């Protein structure tokens, strides 16, 4: 795994470039990231290019043995472009056309914008595609409009209508699948349908329309990136990889849609920005589950992953921007390593003096020479990674007891959309529900892939599908076969309620999965604050408030959790059964803190006779390249499971908060 | 009282209609509600009607002995209408013209829309008006724009201006009554005046303009319904009643304005949708006071009332949508019965599979056959009501001790608007202030009518007028006569401060009522959180924070509550006096929990030598059709006041939470 | 100091004017304020004036020996003006053109509006400028758009662009100073730049653009007032002063910019309107620090100050509007006296019966004759002030021990903007940070001027510059000289981070001040709720959460406060050093309650061997006109520092809450 950094030569006096690149190299960086957001400098007026400054920067990088990641500048159109073609500007939900002055304000659905993007990307590809100094390409940046998506411009409306036409064929089919006989919503032609916008609608949005709009938006975004990739594919050849940069919590685009378009998938993570993270030191270390879940998802897309942006210290954009814990930056780098990342690039090398991000830390301060606390940690990690490369046999197979725990967490993007579109309890959080199961698996010491249903389940002894609301007969059959063939399947509440259109079944609640789970779902309940319900598993009690189902188990189904209060006290809340050579467990409740999920997942392993760990939440141990890597996001020291004879390559047997230990 | 249910045949395969209607009948429903929202199906293109499907559904209903309530579909214009005539679409406060895709997005002030509505309503009337299978008509649905009212379109502006012209005659009169010399607000012509919209105004809205805009909106809405009623009056004849469907908490339209237009007044109630209701089980049973207050208001309008929508279980539109308490649906039905309802119709028979309301429970689930918990309670209530009809002598007069407690609660819609327009304390809630007095009266065991001042007060031994801010000399004189003639009058804080224009008096504070209450109001106070003030009544202490007045009683006035703290500790907060053969009590404080109001109302009865009950808050006992009906919304069991010899028709002597007892 | 009141004759029947003015005089008022908001009455149609009613009112005032303050009516254009010229109406951030109906909805950047304003102001000046009955002029009122500023109309955009052209000369200079190479923000022409508006921008606004927009807005507002003053200067001559009326918490306009245009500076204060003020009686007395800080700032602008609006009782515009504490109105009048005010005018003489402010108290109620509690206090204060004038030798010099404590608080409007534009912790409040130091100085018994850096520092033995983020070499050199020459300088956190453009230094953090404070600033931290950090000064502990710096002191620097927790426990948080004949103290932390600041400021005085008081927070003692005036905003009685032989002119030795004592 290699380390690198963003550098913006265009922001600094040209005399300082050599010094800055030399310092960047001296801190242990092995590549440099250039060109992001530089469109106005690369194409100062329409069709007139200026590559001289970039040539110079690339050559200086090469002089310092720094391969270059080049970025297409499509996130930031020059002022001349939006001035001449205002129709490329985003129209927000309020109907407001956005303006020049920040970034990501152009709409990638408009043909005009795509044409201008193609010209600059084509020119960059032509000039640098076969250039050995360039190691890879990043397309655009964090493709989104930072919460102002979707765009509601005419081009988007037309593209959505065309997409619907493709999907449904006839308007009658759309009316049927959207339930449009209700509220006289029936459309007569596709061009009467609009992207749903609460600002222009009096009552609740049609949920099928909303789901389709989300599908379209993600498809359109993927298509846009695919288009950029296609322009670079030939000039990039085999030597330069192509990727983009996804924000791991951003749900409107779906990285999995571009899995085949990119050589590897890269993403952005800023663990510390004032969010109320778990534990007393969470605000200084970030959330282990979020980091780990994202890494396990991105890596699983096509098997290759990198972190394109990792914060080197305080940021500028949180509501509160505290200092990271000493050691936290190194902790994150090592976590990325443990999770299989090919590189970690930090945003940014040098703290800016001006502009919107002037409070954003770099590896060095705005003076360009003083390393920050995070800069020193990057340098330390560079040295340590080099030592590990030397010391560890990269190709050793993972130990069998670790492989035996291997789990897949099934992540259905469309189910997440559909549930979050209509939560039935505003406190419900689909993403947190997924994280609870990821935390449960990591506490058990399992290696986890977060996969979509395009993957083969058979590779995993354990398969957890949380809140998989949208299903079809084929998926349910695959689950069935998976268990019959010896897999241990865990389904959770809100699974199987609807078909892929988002319609309820003409059947008992969640009808298609009932035979699979061996129980009926009599009803669900949800509690307004401050009410809290309780469950019992053995002698232990757990609390819930967002969602609980009351189950009626079949004869051969075992109850594993029981309601302890409410008018259905004593009724089943979670059940398990044998199915063929495997098991199926259904957990019908979303607990408040995830402890219930950790307990029930551990019991699944126990019933499967697979030994697990019982790690503290936030203490993660993984195997990579012949090493065990323990990273501690917990606020208390944690004992690492280092066997007596092991060789400790880094750290100690007890890992302090923000600490790392590596052994083999 | 009869039970019925909404059914949408247009949403289901035609083969299922007979089965569904048979099931509906089998569950004990005695009528079915059809046609709501079906405009696009009834008039698929302008002027072309399709009644075949509705004919079929009506005949199937008749085949199952189910009379039909038909609904005019004006809440949901078809897409062709709004596409051809975008000027009928609501313009919201942001200036945004609303679009097709949900409901209630058309503006009923536009002549174009009224013309289209008249055509479809006329056609329905012509076809089904004389049809014996149809028992009644519902006009439109929950007339409103669900919080996006008022509309600010040009038609609304012009109609408001014309209404002002009618009301004021000259612009000088308007300028005078609105105080327009201040801030140079003086208008020169009516067409310069606009509906007040904070989005286009820099500072505080003129309160008289706001009050007039509210009056106009309610008048215009009433006029629209009156117009629909007029179209159906002749074809409906005597056999079919006409009504609409009011939301009981919605304050922008005023049901009392259509009292003469409708044969009966119907309304909507959804007691359980996650609101923070009173008591630990309030979130599962709803608020007894809200339910009872609304029923007592709607019934008093013209003496006939029905509930058009009552939830049969969980709903889809709250921030949190919990399960109702087992028995709660039956509790509500019996509460409606006790409050004099002629029917209870449930929304809806069958849970939908698609569309915005797919999480809304029905009497049966989306499979169309499985009764829900609420469906079973409807069936139970149907059986019980039939038994009561058989057992009880419907025409027995109410017992004298009950009649002696009879009270009217005076509800002035315009005072509520005017106070809520300018609360002086953001925590003040006029509606809750009214409920406190309704709760006080029901705890005393009184039968209550919630009336407007169009009613004769003399029929009631007790008259409570809470926060009646706007008064005129005639009303004050009526109050005076009422007490002199032996009535027991209770006025509360914020009463009599202003004239009907909303102007303060050129007189001491609340000048016109001072002689009546026998005290001066020296000043009022209001406390920002977390400050709380206290009062004393005898040895008991009560808390307040939103509003308290400091009273200076006349010589012959008795102090009944005293301030216990603040700089006016020891001063009077509530007073009472004899007036002729009656009494006048003035309660100058709004308490935090209503206990003060319960105490002082009970004392009014005691001084009048009328015996009262002392029921727990939420335990309601009423007389109807020769029976006593006790309904328990309290979270603890309550003893019913069943005399030794009474015949218990339903339930037990101790009524459990959500329980009902009936005896005679 | 004289007392006066607003009166709106145009709102009342002409027959009542003589009675009202007689009562106003009888309550002890010595002047009357007329003409505010009366444009529609003064110019009923374009160019046609009606001064007859105002002539009559002015003569009646003169008949009652009441000099008149006349107000220009430019805050409230008549409806004919905005109807004929809609381009003068404000365009808000949502792009919405505001409408007639309230006030301050016109944009003073448009030439059309300025032309109309010039006509009415010119006409008023011509008619009343040389009139001996008029004592002064107020221009406009609380110049602002009450939170809807800035206006985004085309005229504003063009004026901003022109202002930028003046400031930067070339677009390249602007691009450089705004850091526009980032995000391709580079502009090609000034007319491409817009006033920054988050509603039309996808991501974070450019902070330099935002700062310049704030500068421009304040400059434009000052220019507008300057223009009105210029029209009246000649007719006003020496006999009539000219001023305007600033809201003391409103930060978008800057009173200091008009210091040379006005004879005196007037302002508005409403201490009680439901805000969560300090202490259990804060909601009834207001905040002493806010009042005192504003008075010390306004007075220091050009040495003459008056309060144009002081509430006489409850107001109508707070979220909650409680009663002031008995005595509080007099307390405020005396506080104004102590702070050097030349007059206190109350808004308003008579509570209105109609319009947006009908709940606003006056000296008399809406009946026009009954004095309110506040009216009685105004009358009392008028008698007391007359007695003080008679009793006190106005020209006695302030005692030496008081002069020795004299302090200047340096208030940099642009630093406040720039910090508040980007707080790094949403809880940070620059204004509260300034108040903490003002409170610290007043608790020490110091006379304080709140000054801008246009003032000479040498007049003050103590100089406190809190959070002075933007500095230049000249200012730092002045601070250096100030200390070297014997001054005691206190700088606080966030000082010196940026240059005047808002760019960070190409240097260590806050580079230019490091030599001055004798320490390096290693980093800053900030804590998301509910985290709280602690500091130690001697044995005492103090809490912080918004901002703390970790300092590395030089050899000759003394640590005065130390971090008690977080990962930098034990490190320095505040330091002091000798510099020439003076001292420099740097306090790198913003505490939660100001106790730390009070302690460290007292230590600065101790090190300087200047004796201080140790007053309770909110107990203020000042010297004016030969008297000591103690005003108690604290909720407990406070002993006044009255020496044994002193003559007590008012009050007692122990001052009750809301009490006043005066002695000499």
Distance CA A292, CA A286 (A): 11
Q: List, for residues C615-656, the tens digit of each pLDDT value.
A: 999 999 999 999 999 999 999 999 999 999 999 999 999 999
pLDDT reported for residue B275: 83
> What sign for the dihedral angle of Cα B583, B589, B590, B596?
negative
Residue A528: which of B105, B145, B322 has the nearest Cβ? B322
- Give the ipTM: 0.97
Whether C316 sits inside 8 A of B422 (CB atoms) is: yes
- Nearest C-alpha neighbor of A90 from the set A171, A153, A175: A153
Instruction: Reply yes or no: is the peptide bond before residue B280 cis, omega within 30 of 0.
Output: no
Question: With helix as H, strand as E and coil as C, how does A398-467 read?
Answer: CCHHHHCCCEEEECCHHHHHHHHHCCCECCCCHHHHHHHHHHHHHHCCCCEEEECCCCCHHHCCEEEECC
Per-residue pLDDT at B395 exceeds 90 = no
DSSP H or E run through B380: helix B373-391
Q: Three-class SS of residue A2?
A: strand
pLDDT reported for residue C391: 87
A94 touches chain C (CB under 8 A): yes
CA A521 to each of CA A511, A577, B284: distance values in angstroms, whole numbers, following the listed order: 9, 15, 20
Token duo for residue A645: 């004879």
pLDDT reported for residue A510: 98
- Nearest C-alpha neighbor of B618 from the set B600, B601, B593: B593
pLDDT reported for residue A391: 87
**A residues 122..151 contacting C (CB < 8 A):** 145-146, 148
Contacts of A among chains (3+ CB pairs under 8 A): B, C
Question: What average pLDDT score do residues C558-586 get?
Answer: 98
pLDDT-based confidence at B59, cuts 50/70/90? very high
Q: List, for residues B463-502, the tens digit of each pLDDT value.
A: 999 999 999 999 999 999 999 999 999 999 999 999 999 9
Per-residue pLDDT at A49 exceeds 90 = yes
pLDDT reported for residue A278: 84
Residue A526: which of B94, B100, B321 has the nearest Cβ? B321
pLDDT reported for residue B85: 98
Q: Give the number of other CB atoms < 10 A from CB of residue A324.
A: 27
Token duo for residue A598: 């950790």
pLDDT reported for residue C650: 97
Question: What average pLDDT score do residues C192-214 get?
Answer: 98
Question: What average pLDDT score do residues A64-81 get?
Answer: 98
B616 touches chain A (CB under 8 A): no
Q: Three-class SS of residue B443?
A: helix
- Nearest C-alpha neighbor of A567 from the set A627, A527, A615, A540: A527
CA A260 to each of CA A142, A413, A454, A592, B23: distance values in angstroms, whole numbers, following the listed order: 18, 17, 12, 38, 53
A491 neighbors A601 (Cβ within 8 angstroms)? no
Whether A206 sits inside 8 A of B11 (CB atoms) is: no
Residue C366: which of B197, B506, B525 has the nearest Cβ? B506
Distance CA A460, CA A448 (A): 9
CA torsion angle for C454, C459, C462, C463 (degrees, to 10)?
10
Whether C102 sits inside 8 A of B188 (CB atoms) is: no
pLDDT reported for residue A392: 75
Distance CA B549, CA B568 (A): 10
First to last CA, chain B: 18
C525 neighbors C548 (Cβ within 8 angstroms)? yes
Question: What average pLDDT score do residues B594-600 get?
Answer: 98
Residue B102: which of A187, A192, A203 has the nearest Cβ? A203
Distance CA B449, CA B409 (A): 6
A179 touches chain B (CB under 8 A): yes
**Nearest-CA distance C567 → chain A (Å):** 7
> Nearest 5°: phi and psi at A578?
-80, 145
**Nearest-CA distance C317 → chain B (Å):** 8
pTM over 0.95: yes
Distance CA C602, CA C442 (A): 10
C309 is catalytic: yes
CA C397 to each of CA C401, C625, C663: distance values in angstroms, whole numbers, following the listed order: 12, 8, 15
DSSP H or E run through C173: helix C171-177
Contacts of C among chains (3+ CB pairs under 8 A): A, B
Per-residue pLDDT at C435 exceeds 90 = yes
Q: List, for residues C482-496, the tens digit of each pLDDT value.
A: 999 999 999 999 999
pLDDT reported for residue B76: 98
Q: List, for residues C70-90, the tens digit of each pLDDT value.
A: 999 999 999 999 999 999 999
Q: Which segments within C204-292 are labelled E, that is strand? A: 241-247, 265-269
Q: Give the number of other CB atoms < 10 A from CB of residue C585.
A: 23
- Nearest C-alpha neighbor of C38 from the set C4, C2, C68: C68
pLDDT-based confidence at C395, cuts 50/70/90? confident
**Nearest-CA distance C438 → chain A (Å):** 26
Per-residue pLDDT at C396 exceeds 90 = no
Distance CA A321, CA A314 (A): 6
Distance CA C24, CA B110 (A): 52
pLDDT reported for residue C28: 97
Token duo for residue A580: 């063929």
Q: List, for residues A564-603, the tens digit of each pLDDT value.
A: 999 999 999 999 999 999 999 999 999 999 999 999 999 9
Residue listed under structure tokens 């808390």: B543
Residue of B nearest to C364 (CA): B508
Per-residue pLDDT at C278 exceeds 80 = yes
Q: List, for residues B81-119, the tens digit of each pLDDT value.
A: 999 999 999 999 999 999 999 999 999 999 999 999 999
Distance CA C452, CA C412 (A): 6
pLDDT reported for residue C189: 98
C552 touches chain A (CB under 8 A): no
C421 neighbors C494 (Cβ within 8 angstroms)? no
**Residue C578 contacts by C-beta under 8 Å, 6 or more apart in sequence?**
C556
Average pLDDT, rounded, for chain A: 97
Question: With helix as H, strand as E and coil as C, how does B446-460 read?
Answer: CCEEEECCCCCHHHC
C87 is catalytic: no
Per-residue pLDDT at C558 exceeds 90 = yes
Q: Three-class SS of residue A332?
A: helix
Distance CA C523, CA C533 (A): 15
Average pLDDT, rounded, for chain C: 97
Q: Three-class SS of residue C268?
A: strand
Q: List, for residues B347-384, the tens digit of each pLDDT value.
A: 999 999 999 999 999 999 999 999 999 999 999 999 99
C230 touches chain B (CB under 8 A): no
Above pLDDT 90, what percent of chain A?
98
Question: What average pLDDT score do residues B307-319 get?
Answer: 97
Is beta strand B31-34 parallel, antiparallel or unpaired with respect to C134-139? unpaired
pLDDT reported for residue C378: 98
Q: Which residues of B are catalytic?
A: 142, 309
Q: Would residue B22 be called left, alpha or beta, if left means φ above 0 and alpha means ψ between -120 and 50 degrees?
A: alpha
Q: Which residues of A are catalytic?
A: 142, 309
Contact residues on chain B for C359, CB-CB shorter than 8 A: 422, 424
Q: List, for residues B197-244, the tens digit of each pLDDT value.
A: 999 999 999 999 999 999 999 999 999 999 999 999 999 999 999 999
A46 neighbors A84 (Cβ within 8 angstroms)? yes
pLDDT-based confidence at A349, cuts 50/70/90? very high
DSSP H or E run through B2: strand B2-6
Whether A202 sits inside 8 A of B148 (CB atoms) is: yes
- Nearest C-alpha neighbor of C364 from the set C22, C13, C14, C15: C22
C218 neighbors C252 (Cβ within 8 angstroms)? yes
Question: What average pLDDT score do residues C465-487 get?
Answer: 98
Residue A355: which of C182, C188, C507 has the nearest Cβ? C182
C571 neighbors C541 (Cβ within 8 angstroms)? no
Whether A319 sits inside 8 A of C523 (CB atoms) is: no
Per-residue pLDDT at A623 exceeds 80 = yes
What does R_g of chain A's alpha carbons equal in angstroms? 26
């Amino acid at each position: 795994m290699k380390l690198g950094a963003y550098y913006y030569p265009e922001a600094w006096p040209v005399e300082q470039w050599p010094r800055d690149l030399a310092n960047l190299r001296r801190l242990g960086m092995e590549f440099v990231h250039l060109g992001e957001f530089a469109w106005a400098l690369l194409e100062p007026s329409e069709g007139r290019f200026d590559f001289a400054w970039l040539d110079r920067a690339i050559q200086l990088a090469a002089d310092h043995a720094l391969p270059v990641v080049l970025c297409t500048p499509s996130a930031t159109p020059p002022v001349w472009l939006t001035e001449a073609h205002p129709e490329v500007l985003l129209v927000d939900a309020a109907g407001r056309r956005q303006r020049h002055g920040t970034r990501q304000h152009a709409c990638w659905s408009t043909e005009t914008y795509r044409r201008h993007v193609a010209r600059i990307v084509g020119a960059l590809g032509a000039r640098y595609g076969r250039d050995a100094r360039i190691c890879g390409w990043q397309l655009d940046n964090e493709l989104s409009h930072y919460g102002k998506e979707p765009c509601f411009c005419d081009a988007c409306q037309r593209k959505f209508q065309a997409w619907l036409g493709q999907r449904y064929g006839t308007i009658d089919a759309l009316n049927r699948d959207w339930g449009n006989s209700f509220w006289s919503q029936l459309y007569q032609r596709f061009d009467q349908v609009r992207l749903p916008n609460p600002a222009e609608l009096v009552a609740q949005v049609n949920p099928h329309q909303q789901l389709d709009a989300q599908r379209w938006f993600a498809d359109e975004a993927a298509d846009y990136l695919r288009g950029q990739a296609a322009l670079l594919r030939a000039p990039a050849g085999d030597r330069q990889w192509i990727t983009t940069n996804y924000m791991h919590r951003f749900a409107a685009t779906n990285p999995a849609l571009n899995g085949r378009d990119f050589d590897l998938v890269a993403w952005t993570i800023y663990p510390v920005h004032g969010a109320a993270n778990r534990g007393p030191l969470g605000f200084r270390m970030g959330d282990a589950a979020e980091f780990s879940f994202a890494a396990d998802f991105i890596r699983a897309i096509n098997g290759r992953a990198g972190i394109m942006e990792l914060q080197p210290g305080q940021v500028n954009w949180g509501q509160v921007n505290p200092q990271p814990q000493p050691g936290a930056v190194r902790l994150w780098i090592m976590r990325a390593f443990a999770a299989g990342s090919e590189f970690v690039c930090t945003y940014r090398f040098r703290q800016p003096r001006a502009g919107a991000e002037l409070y954003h830390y770099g590896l060095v301060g705005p003076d360009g020479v003083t390393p920050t606390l995070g800069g020193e940690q990057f340098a330390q990690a560079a040295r340590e990674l080099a030592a590990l490369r030397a010391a560890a046999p990269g190709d050793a197979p993972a130990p069998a007891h670790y492989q035996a725990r291997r789990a897949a967490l099934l992540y259905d993007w469309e189910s997440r959309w559909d549930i979050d579109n209509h939560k039935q309890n505003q406190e419900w959080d689909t993403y947190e529900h997924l994280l609870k199961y990821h935390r449960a698996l990591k506490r058990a010491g399992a290696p986890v892939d977060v996969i979509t249903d395009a993957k083969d389940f058979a590779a995993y002894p354990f398969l957890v599908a949380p809140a998989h609301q949208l299903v079809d007969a084929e998926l349910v059959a695959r689950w069935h076969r998976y268990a019959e063939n010896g897999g241990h399947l865990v389904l959770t509440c809100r699974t199987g309620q609807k078909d892929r259109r988002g319609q309820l079944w003409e059947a008992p609640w969640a009808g298609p999965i009932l035979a699979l789970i061996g129980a009926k779902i009599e009803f669900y309940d949800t509690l307004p604050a401050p009410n809290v319900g309780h469950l019992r598993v053995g002698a232990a009690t757990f609390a819930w408030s967002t969602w609980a189902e009351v189950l009626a188990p079949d004869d051969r189904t075992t109850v594993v959790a029981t309601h302890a209060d409410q008018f259905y006290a004593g009724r089943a809340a979670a059940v398990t059964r044998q199915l063929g050579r495997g098991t199926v467990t259904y957990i019908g409740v979303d607990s408040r803190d995830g402890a219930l999920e950790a307990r029930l997942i551990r019991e699944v392993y126990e019933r499967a006779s697979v030994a697990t760990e019982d790690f503290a939440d936030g203490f993660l141990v993984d195997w990579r390249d012949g090493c065990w890597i323990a990273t501690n996001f917990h606020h208390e020291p944690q004992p690492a499971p280092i066997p007596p004879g092991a060789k400790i390559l880094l750290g100690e047997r007890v890992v302090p908060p923000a600490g790392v230990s590596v052994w083999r």
